[in-house]
Amino acid sequence: DTAVSQTPKYLVTQMGNDKSIKCEQNLGHDTMYWYKQDSKKFLKIMFSYNNKELIINETVPNRFSPKSPDKAHLNLHINSLELGDSAVYFCASTAASWIDMNTEAFFGQGTRLTVV
Amino acid sequence: DAKTTQPPSMDCAEGRAANLPCNHSTISGNEYVYWYRQIHSQGPQYIIHGLKNNETNEMASLIITEDRKSSTLILPHATLRDTAVYYCIPSGGTSYGKLTFGQGTILTVHP
């Protein structure tokens, strides 16, 4: 069983399109995240949700809109895609809560987005 | 967020111990030291974490200095599959598990 799964694994699309990436975790975790890894391999957090509520928003353009329909899912919708959005996007989850922040993160295998 | 300093790259012979250092002199009192690695094109993988005591699990050992300003990750018997980028990340407190990745150390294990 894959703990954190993302779909699709690869996504090639044209500038200006709108696309979504889906993430699901079967670990029963309360907190989920989206990270972006750019062409220089630098990993940076974008968003975090705890129990379906947004708790971290790292100054990401409004074109990026995360949605968490339930604790096990965190999707990322991107409007009006730009060339600079090309990157690998990783979903992650942890059992972190306000009671205990110190838990390990489990990452998905990534979605490689290429905007042409 | 605490800043970290790691050597950009290290080499290790297969079967030998790999010792990866990290400086985190600005770590907060309630932050743990986490180590993750990223094998080429895969998602980051958790290795180990600790607060102030040394820790050991099936993957590695973590040695934290008494002043908590630096730590060393030890892979006791490196294999070719341990070739990866290794990240040292202070995290915890009120960060809700947020991980701030630095440049990491590219560890190359040679036959």
pLDDT tens per residue across span B96-107: 788 999 999 999
Share of chain A above pLDDT 70, in %: 97
The nearest alpha carbon in chain B to A39 belongs to B41
| pLDDT given for residue B19 in this prediction | 98
For the cut 90, the answer to whether the pLDDT of residue A112 exceeds it is yes
Nearest by Cα to B88 from B25, B12, B14: B25
pLDDT: which is higher, A97 or B48: B48
| pLDDT given for residue A98 in this prediction | 66
For the cut 70, the answer to whether the pLDDT of residue B80 exceeds it is yes
Nearest by Cα to A27 from A55, A2, A53: A2
Q: Positive or negative, the Cα torsion across A95, A45, B25, B107?
A: positive
For the cut 90, the answer to whether the pLDDT of residue B67 exceeds it is yes
Using beta carbons and an 8 Å cutoff, which residues of A are at the interface with B?
A: 4, 31, 33, 35, 41-45, 48, 50, 55-56, 88, 90, 92, 94, 96, 98, 101-110
Q: What mean pLDDT do residues A67-81 have?
A: 95
* A12-42 pLDDT per residue, tens: 999 999 999 999 999 999 899 999 999 888 8
Residue B69 tokens read as 């300003």
* Residues of A whose CB is below 8 A from B99: 35, 43, 45, 92, 105
Give the model's confidence band at B68: pLDDT under 50 very low, under 70 low, under 90 confident, else very high.
very high
Phi and psi at B82, nearest 5°, equal -85, -5
Note the Cα B24 to chain centre separation in Å.
11
* Residues of A whose CB is below 8 A from B42: 109-110
| pLDDT given for residue A55 in this prediction | 87
- CA A101 – CA A8 distance, rounded (Å): 30
At a CB cut-off of 8 Å and minimum separation 6, what does B109 contact? B11, B12, B13, B14, B18, B78, B79, B80, B81, B82, B83
pLDDT: which is higher, B17 or A56: B17
Q: What mean pLDDT do residues A50-57 have?
A: 87
Q: Chain B: nearest CA to A114, how far in angstroms? A: 15
